[in-house]
Structure 1
């Protein structure tokens, strides 16, 4: 299966319904890839689907559709984007209706997505599920606009001359890029499952044992939430670019007792995914925040700022005020600056969470055991800023074996018919057969044809009652249903298998991923990955083709190189180990020169396969850009890709921007203190952070 370029383009429709021809070239001082991509006629099944309308999905849609024939390239691909929310923007889109519904119901870690009820808040959206963004209004980035720039799309000046954009400013930038792409975006369209289809045509022999080539496009099952009940749709696409947010699945640390606490005390344990403001927590006596990254630092700082506003500049220790506790495994990373404050107390990492209930008391008490043996009793709120699980694609089903004629006949019986011009989906017939669930039924052999691309998301294990002191209340069945028995294993970080350069399925490169990499400059990398994906698709690779650009051939060397990088990291850390046991359990794997928290050294966590950063990420960007410019030299004239912007100075500025963020925080705090005089208040880690968490 190859992905054809369209032979011609039709005039694009303007806002008033008239048509216009392709725009003329813009001045060379600000060349753009395409200010308004032309409308391209549909080519039936020869279409590309982009899943996810965040920054990665938007730039992928733009880069796949852009017209390049004036430069000697090809016409754009027939690409469309599906977004499950009511608007694009990804995590940067924070809509008021969903915020109101969250405030009305409380922030519940076990409810996803939100289902509006009649008469509830949430805007005029009927019963369509809502997928809240994990962002918050006070969010201010730690990446300079230069490194949040899509090629050809410069940032405007930030409000007040600030160096870092706010949540709203970033959302406006993404929307500006997305605006001309609106005709190709379908919102409220949730992709439920994806199935790789066997290739066509059939082998020249008629034996059932004869396998087929291993690329035949993709069956996509979606729910259209513009109707109630949602409309189930089945479609066939030639290629997919998966750009969903990896913030869907929060990561919970493997702390004994945590799963029990989530089940028995859901009002006391929260993941930062559900943080919107400090309103529910700031006045509580004992609040513990876990983590030392962006969200954790922001939450701690916002809590302190609100308390200063309400209780005065100096802590009221004599009135019983307590500090905000910050439980951490490592000292702060320079990438995530946070100002020190006497209202913040750092404590060692948590080794156990205990839930107990006094006799006759309906409420439960939350106690935390720390690595030092210290015990924090009566914790009002435990907030987990422990990140997310990227790379969860258990809803993507890839071929596990070569398909046979019997498989094709079984698919035909379900309404998935192989015809001379490709696969055709008979939706009513497929629905009558039981939908995509019928593809896994026993009896016709199809259940062995596919395998999920990854494991499902991990959750804290439902640990035993040994972590419950006395007998607590029975967990609500709905709460337990959202927890699996699978424990998180930090020694084996999740990765999507069989990928070339973190972005293409090597065996079948018609499946691509964008936004999978946990990146320090995600906009730049998403831009490069989508341009590179188009480059590979335009080369029309066949399975196993032995070309120098073959993702199949280069994937093995890529994976080995990445594995060597991770092994080298672990080796260097392991060289720091203390030798002589016996030692306390939490010290056994502690590096000799590792940071200590309250004199407790902590062991390193292995780096995730798809978590790059630093020199490794920069090297990948340089390689992708070099491949692009070798085959499309005109891209070297585009803003964001020019040689002047990719000199040695680039990484110097990128590494130094975290010091800029710290300096910005210090200066903002200084100016705020001058402005407040003796009135108190704070702007720690955010613009005007004292304004009621809003």
Structure 2
């Protein structure tokens, strides 16, 4: 057993869903002297918190009116069922407010006990020598001078900051010119279609965000709304067909016109001129830039950013590197991540992940005792993903989706969670009936949500026909993006 992984003082970074359930599980299952969360915003909830009174430094990608596509039973942390939403049976998916209220209620006891420090921004986390812990530098926005810098040493750190700080932009030629002119808008900053009435719009992508933006634009924007796609969407990205949305091929390059409009040259040689705005739905990438670790090659000599361990040009760079089971940092198991991967049911995945972590750090669950052994998980997963991407490309004749990658659990979600639960139950049999069962039945149950979502969209469309601007926000439950 690795003697490093028995911390007594643990700091969690981020009070979104991943952070607060990690706090609960560490306190409930572990024997630790001190466990706390620091959160830079003024309330818990992560992307599900979008109070207009919050500081504008870190706005959520979500906004009022958002509706998820994950049903309440898949948003429930163990022992804390999600309340039945007070909405019509035709629309059973929780809203932004209902999801925030659930998270706020879950965290209330820990706020009262002082386990969560709000308005506390993490500036830098640095690994100390010889397993002596982590030096964490924070900026306290509650202090009289609004930004007092403090440093503390912790035995272990759990990063629960999620994905939605750093938008991923396509490298299409001409994109930088559009960004400088404010003609390209990433989904992170989309706040509704009203200001684009009568405008010609091009949407890049066909995931949840891109599909939602296109659907919101059609009642107001110039007809048609163009949607540039490389391949058909995953069946889980539910959206209604609309004759006012015209699907076109990928963009070859953008050209900035003299009148500050845009020309898009497509790969099939089609030219679209006089575009007023280009919306980017290409997703995000994890980037805990504050985190600095000892170089694996020279741990006593140098400190490097964690993310420098992956190539910026690689598709597989869209991951937190060197993690055993997407959670434990291979070179120092007193660093962990919860929520480092995308999943269809993220609340339940972070619950089982943090339960597993709590028992790892009490030495009740065994793990490989060398960095090389802990890196084997990452190595095998990358090899498997690359193999499956090649097979998909050969079978379809198309480039494999960028969503089919290391950092997205995809079809492996139930198997991944079942493996974690198996180890948990071997250590603590009493948790067998506390955590959900992940199996083929659950997979079918989860997949059955998508037809229900489609039906709810049809119902919402009928409701929109009676509203002045016809706008409702519908997005995915994995992220408010």
TM-score after normalising by structure 2: 0.90
- 8 Å CA contact 1:365, 1:379 repeated in 2: yes
- 1:553-564 equivalences under 5 Å are 554-564=373-383
- 8 Å CA contact 2:224, 2:245 repeated in 1: yes
Deviation, 1:365, is 2.5
Cα–Cα, structure 1 residues 95 and 452, in superposed 2: closer, same or farther, change >3 Å?
same
Q: Gaps spanning 5+ residues in structure 2: where?
A: 476-481
SS in 1 for 2:432: helix
- 1:154-165 equivalences under 5 Å are 154-160=81-87, 161=89, 162-165=91-94
- 1:73-112 equivalences under 5 Å are 74-76=30-32, 78-97=34-53
Q: Does 1:270 align with 2:185?
A: yes
SS in 2 for 1:538: coil
- 1:445-484 equivalences under 5 Å are 448-455=301-308
Question: Could you say which residue in structure 2 is the equivalent of 1:380?
Answer: 276
SS in 2 for 1:454: helix
- 1:278-297 equivalences under 5 Å are 278-281=193-196, 283-297=197-211
Question: Could you say which residue in structure 1 is the equivalent of 2:25?
Answer: 63
Deviation, 1:377, is 1.1
1:336 to 224, 227, 237: 237
Cα–Cα, structure 1 residues 533 and 324, in superposed 2: closer, same or farther, change >3 Å?
same
- 8 Å CA contact 2:327, 2:338 repeated in 1: yes
- 8 Å CA contact 2:464, 2:472 repeated in 1: no
Deviation, 1:672, is 5.4
Q: Does 1:134 align with 2:61?
A: yes
Larger radius of gyration: 1
Distance 1:236 1:184 in 2: 17
Q: Gaps spanning 5+ residues in structure 1: where?
A: 6-45, 69-73, 99-121, 123-128, 200-214, 308-320, 358-362, 405-447, 459-487, 542-546, 577-590, 595-601, 688-694
- 8 Å CA contact 2:217, 2:225 repeated in 1: yes
- 1:570-589 equivalences under 5 Å are 570-576=389-395
Question: Could you say which residue in structure 2 is the equivalent of 1:397?
Answer: 292
Cα–Cα, structure 1 residues 62 and 77, in superposed 2: closer, same or farther, change >3 Å?
farther
- 8 Å CA contact 2:263, 2:274 repeated in 1: yes
- 8 Å CA contact 1:65, 1:77 repeated in 2: no
Question: Could you say which residue in structure 2 is the equivalent of 1:218?
Answer: 134
Distance 2:5 2:402 in 1: 41
SS in 2 for 1:296: helix
Q: How many pairs align?
A: 467
- 8 Å CA contact 1:493, 1:608 repeated in 2: no
Question: Could you say which residue in structure 2 is the equivalent of 1:352?
Answer: 253
1:654 to 435, 442, 446: 446
Q: Deviations over 1:313-344 (max 9, x none)?
A: xxxxxxxx421111111212211111111221
Q: Deviations over 1:33-81 (max 9, x none)?
A: xxxxxxxxxxxxx411000111000101111111x5xxxxx54552110
Cα–Cα, structure 1 residues 604 and 63, in superposed 2: closer, same or farther, change >3 Å?
closer
**How well do the aligned residues superpose, as a CA RMSD in angstroms?**
2.6
Deviation, 1:138, is 2.6
Question: Could you say which residue in structure 1 is the equivalent of 2:129?
Answer: 198
- 8 Å CA contact 2:72, 2:94 repeated in 1: yes
Cα–Cα, structure 1 residues 249 and 191, in superposed 2: closer, same or farther, change >3 Å?
same
Distance 2:424 2:416 in 1: 12
Distance 1:450 1:339 in 2: 50
